[in-house]
C-alpha cells in the first residue's frame, strides 16, 4: 500500500543542509494499522507530509498503492491524494463556517461526484461516526471528540485506501481519546489501512506494528508485520520484536 | 464546481462583512468615478448620425486675411460668408446642401394669456430636414420652391408648439414673429440630439432650436445672426454692405453620397475659389476643407480636453481603489492560509484553489459593480445638476451599464490576481500539522 525505499529529504538554505529523512525505508501493507513513533524533530512529520503527497522528496522511491509518485505534477498528485488518502489531524482542521455536512463534502467536491452520490456518502460517513443527527451543526457547537469524529467522517467519506493520522487524540482528554481510538480500530477492521503518528506509547501499542524513527531514519520496527486481530489488547511490552532505540547524540 | 465556488465566495464575503464592505465600496467608488466621466466622454464623442455621418460634410473656405491665417494651425474659418453661401447654394453641386445661421426673434403669441417672449431658432434651407433627419410630429418641411419664393413659413420645435398650442396639431395655423405672421408647415417631434452637431460654432451643448424658417425669408428681415460673426476687415455700413462683406457667419453642409461625389465637390469648391481669386477675393493660398461629421466633431473638440483629463484622473482613482482592494484581498486570503492548506490536502489542486479565490474576487467585483452602477447614476445626476449643458450626455445607456459591470468584474479580477496567486502557492504542509 505504502512503500518508501531509501527515501531522502533534504532542506537546503544558503548556509546549511538539513537531512530530515535519510535512507528512510518503510513498507506498509494493505489492511495494516501502523504506528510511527519517535521524538520531536525525528522526521515523523516529514514522513507523513511526504506520505500524504504534501511535500516532495529529494531522493529514493515512493510508491503509493502501486503508483510511483515521483515526477507526478500538481494535478496528478492532488487527484491521487483525493482518491487514495484520508487525513486526520491533531487539530481537527474543520472549516469553521461550514456545517458538518459541508465539511465532509469538501473532498467529495474535488472528486467530482454528483449531488446524490455526495449526499449518500456524507450521510453514511457521519452515520459511521455517530453524528448523523447533527449534520446541520457547526464545528463550534461540538466537543473536541465530536469534532475529531467529523474529521474522521470527512476522511472516510471518499473511501480512501490509506488513512494518515497525526496524533489523532493529541488534543483530546482520555475518555474522548479512547472513543476516537476505538473508532480508528473499527475502521481498520473494516479494511482501511492506517498509518498513525503518535507520541503516546499506549496508543502505539494498540497498532499492529510500530515503527520508531530517530534522526530521519527508521531505527526500530516490528520485523514481522503480521496483522493482529487483537491489537487492542496488545501493550507495548507485547510487541514481537522490540529493541532499545539508539539515542542520537 | 463553478456554483460551489460561487457559494463559497458569497459565504466568505458574508463572514467578514466589514472587510467585504471596504472592498466593495472601494471598487464601487472607483468604478463610479470612472464611469461617470466615461459616460459623459462616451456620449460626447459618440456619432450622432452613424448611418450617414460619412456623407454629410461641413464646408470650409479660406477667405481670410492675407496678413495672418485664421488660426495658427492653418485651419480655414469655421463659417462662410453670405456671398459664398448663396453662390454655393445656387450652384447646387452637392446631392443635398444647406446653409444656416442662428436667429433670435421675438414671438407674439395669439393667446393673450401668454406674454411675448424671445425664441432662438435656425434659419436654413429645405434640404436641412432631409439631411439631418429630425422626425416630424405634424406636417412636414417646407419645399425648395418655398425656399426660392421666400415663403413666410415656419417649422416649430416640439417645445415651442407645446408652449404656443398646448402640443396640438398647429399645422396651417400661423405664428407671429417680430410682427410678421408665418404659416406653420410642420412641427418636430422630440429630437433627441445629445448635442447640436450641425452647428458646433455656437456651442454643442445648448438648448434645441425652437423654430426653423427659410434662409431666404429670414434674410429679408435684415436681422443679423445671433451666432458668431467674424470679420478680418470692416464690413462697411448697412445691411447690403454686410451681406457683400468677407465676414463669416453662416454654416454650410453638403451631403455627398459617394467618395466620387466628394471628390467632385472638392474640385468644384477649388474651382469656385480660383474663380473668386480672379475677382480679388480669397487672398490666401487655396485651403478649402470638407470634413465629415465625426471629423468636424473632432476638429471642434466636442469632447473637450478637460473632460479627457477628468476621465484620466477618474481612472487613476480607480487604480488607487484597486491597489487598496489588492491589499484587502491579500489580507483576507492570507488569513485563509489554513483553509487553503486543508483544501489542498483534501484533493484541491493549485488550479482549484486559483479558481475558487479568483471567483471570490469576481463576486467582490460584481457587488462593487452593482453599487458602482448606483453611484454612477447619482454621479450623473450631480453632473446634470452642476453642468446643465451636459444634461443630454450625462445619461446612462445600456451599453454603459454593461460596461460598468464588466469593468468592475475585470478590475476586481485584476486586483485578485496577485492575492489569488499567493493563495495557490500556500504549502499545505506548512499550514497543517499532519
Q: What is the pLDDT of residue A235?
A: 34
Confidence of residue A245 (pLDDT cuts 50, 70, 90): very low
Q: Sign of dihedral through CA atoms A76, A48, A33, A246?
A: positive
Is the predicted pLDDT of residue A232 greater than 60, yes or no? no
Give the span between the Cα atoms of B174 and B171, in whole angstroms: 8
Q: Retrieve residue A158's grid coordinates.
A: 471518499
Flag the least confident range among B117-126, B248-257, B302-311. Answer: B302-311
Return phi, psi of residue A243, to 5°.
-125, 150
- In DSSP notation, B132-158 reads H-PPEEEE----HHHHHTT--EEEE-H
Is the predicted pLDDT of residue A223 greater than 70, yes or no? no
- Provide mean pLDDT across the span A141-155: 92
Chain B (332-371) residues lying within 8 Å, Cβ to Cβ, of chain A = 338-339, 342-352
The ranges assigned to domains in chain B are: 2-47+304-431, 62-287
The alpha-carbon gap from B33 to the nearest alpha carbon of chain A, in Å, equals 35
Choose among B15, B352, B433: nearest Cβ to A90. Answer: B433
A26-47 in b/e burial notation, b at 16+ Cβ within 10 A? Answer: bebeeebbbbbbbeeebbbbbb
Does A79 contact B at CB distance below 8 Å?
yes
Does A199 contact B at CB distance below 8 Å?
no
Bridge partners, A63 (sequence order):
A3, A68
Which one, of B110, B105, B63, lies nearest residue B87 by Cα? Answer: B63
Q: What is the pLDDT of residue B433?
A: 59
What does the mean pLDDT of chain B come to? 91
Range among A155-159, B169-173, B400-404 rated most confident: B169-173
Could you report the predicted ipTM of this complex, rounded to two decimals? 0.85
pTM, two decimals, is 0.69
- In DSSP notation, B224-268 reads --SS--B-SS---SSHHHHHTSS-B-BEEEEE--SHHHHHHHHHH
Confidence of residue B386 (pLDDT cuts 50, 70, 90): confident
What does the mean pLDDT of chain A come to? 85
Is the predicted pLDDT of residue A224 greater than 50, yes or no? no
- Provide mean pLDDT across the span A238-246: 34
The alpha-carbon gap from B430 to the nearest alpha carbon of chain A, in Å, equals 9
- Provide mean pLDDT across the span A88-117: 93
Give the span between the Cα atoms of B235 and B232, in whole angstroms: 9
Give the span between the Cα atoms of B201 and B249, in whole angstroms: 9
Amino acid at each position: 500500500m505504502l512503500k518508501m525505499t531509501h527515501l531522502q529529504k533534504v532542506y537546503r538554505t544558503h548556509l546549511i543542509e538539513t537531512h530530515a529523512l535519510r535512507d528512510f525505508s518503510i513498507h506498509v501493507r494493505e489492511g495494516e494499522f501502523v504506528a510511527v513513533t519517535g521524538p520531536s524533530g525525528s522526521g515523523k512529520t516529514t514522513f507523513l507530509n511526504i506520505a500524504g503527497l504534501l511535500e516532495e522528496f529529494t531522493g529514493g522511491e515512493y510508491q503509493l498503492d502501486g503508483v510511483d509518485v515521483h515526477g507526478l505534477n500538481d494535478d496528478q498528485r492532488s487527484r491521487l491524494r483525493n482518491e487514495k488518502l484520508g487525513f486526520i489531524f491533531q487539530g481537527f482542521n474543520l472549516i469553521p463556517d461550514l456545517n458538518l455536512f459541508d465539511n465532509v463534502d469538501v473532498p467529495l467536491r474535488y472528486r467530482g461526484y454528483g449531488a446524490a452520490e455526495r449526499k449518500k456518502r456524507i450521510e453514511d460517513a457521519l452515520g459511521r461516526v455517530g453524528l448523523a443527527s447533527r449534520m446541520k451543526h457547526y464545528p463550534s457547537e461540538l466537543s473536541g471528540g465530536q469534532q475529531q469524529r467529523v474529521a474522521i467522517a470527512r476522511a472516510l467519506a471518499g473511501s480512501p485506501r490509506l488513512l494518515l493520522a497525526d496524533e489523532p487524540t493529541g488534543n483530546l482528554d482520555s475518555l474522548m481519546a479512547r472513543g476516537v481510538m476505538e473508532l480508528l480500530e473499527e475502521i481498520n477492521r473494516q479494511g482501511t489501512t492506517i498509518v498513525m503518528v503518535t507520541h503516546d506509547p499506549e496508543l502505539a501499542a494498540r497498532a499492529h506494528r510500530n515503527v520508531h524513527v530517530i534522526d530521519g531514519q527508521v531505527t526500530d520496527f516490528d520485523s514481522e508485520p503480521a496483522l493482529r486481530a487483537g491489537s487492542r489488547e496488545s501493550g507495548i511490552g507485547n510487541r514481537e520484536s522490540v529493541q532499545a532505540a539508539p539515542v542520537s547524540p | 464546481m463553478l456554483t460551489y465556488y460561487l457559494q463559497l465566495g458569497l459565504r466568505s464575503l458574508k463572514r467578514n462583512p466589514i472587510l467585504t464592505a471596504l472592498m466593495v465600496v472601494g471598487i464601487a467608488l472607483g468604478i463610479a468615478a470612472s464611469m461617470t466621466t466615461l459616460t459623459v466622454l462616451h456620449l460626447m464623442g459618440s456619432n450622432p448620425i452613424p448611418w450617414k455621418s460619412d456623407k454629410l460634410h461641413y464646408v470650409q473656405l479660406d477667405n481670410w486675411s492675407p496678413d495672418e491665417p485664421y488660426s495658427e494651425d492653418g485651419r480655414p474659418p469655421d463659417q462662410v460668408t453670405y456671398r459664398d453661401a448663396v453662390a454655393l447654394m445656387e450652384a447646387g453641386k452637392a446631392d443635398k446642401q444647406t446653409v444656416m445661421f442662428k436667429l433670435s426673434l421675438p414671438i407674439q403669441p395669439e393667446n393673450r394669456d401668454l406674454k411675448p417672449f424671445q425664441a432662438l431658432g435656425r434659419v436654413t434651407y429645405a434640404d436641412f430636414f432631409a439631411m439631418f433627419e429630425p422626425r416630424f410630429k405634424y406636417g412636414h418641411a417646407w419645399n425648395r420652391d418655398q425656399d426660392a419664393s421666400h415663403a413666410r413659413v415656419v417649422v416649430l420645435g416640439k417645445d415651442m408648439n407645446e408652449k404656443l398650442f398646448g402640443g396640438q396639431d398647429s399645422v396651417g395655423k400661423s405664428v407671429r414673429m417680430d410682427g410678421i405672421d408665418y404659416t406653420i408647415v410642420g412641427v418636430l417631434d422630440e429630437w433627441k440630439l445629445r448635442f447640436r452637431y450641425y452647428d458646433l460654432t455656437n456651442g454643442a451643448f445648448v438648448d434645441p432650436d425652437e423654430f426653423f424658417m427659410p434662409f431666404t425669408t429670414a434674410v429679408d428681415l435684415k436681422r443679423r445672426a445671433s451666432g458668431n460673426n467674424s470679420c478680418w476687415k470692416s464690413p462697411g455700413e448697412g445691411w447690403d454692405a454686410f451681406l457683400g462683406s468677407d465676414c463669416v457667419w453662416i454654416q454650410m453642409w453638403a451631403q455627398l453620397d459617394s467618395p466620387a461625389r466628394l471628390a467632385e465637390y472638392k474640385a468644384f469648391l477649388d474651382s469656385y475659389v480660383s474663380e473668386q481669386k480672379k475677382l480679388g477675393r480669397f487672398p490666401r493660398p487655396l485651403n478649402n476643407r470638407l470634413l465629415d461629421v465625426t471629423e468636424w466633431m473632432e476638429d471642434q473638440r466636442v469632447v473637450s480636453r478637460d473632460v479627457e483629463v477628468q476621465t484620466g484622473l477618474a481612472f487613476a482613482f480607480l487604480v488607487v481603489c484597486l491597489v487598496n482592494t489588492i491589499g484587502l484581498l491579500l489580507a483576507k486570503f492570507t488569513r485563509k492560509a489554513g483553509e487553503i492548506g486543508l483544501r489542498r490536502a483534501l484533493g484541491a489542486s493549485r488550479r482549484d484553489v486559483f479558481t475558487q479565490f479568483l471567483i471570490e474576487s469576481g463576486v467582490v467585483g460584481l457587488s462593487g459593480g452593482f453599487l458602482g452602477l448606483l453611484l454612477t447614476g447619482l454621479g450623473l445626476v450631480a453632473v446634470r445638476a452642476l453642468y446643465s449643458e451636459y444634461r443630454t450626455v450625462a445619461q446612462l445607456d445600456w451599453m454603459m451599464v454593461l460596461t460598468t459591470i464588466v469593468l468592475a468584474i475585470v478590475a476586481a479580477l485584476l486586483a485578485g490576481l496577485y492575492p489569488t496567486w499567493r493563495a495557490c502557492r500556500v504549502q499545505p504542509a506548512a499550514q497543517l500539522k499532519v
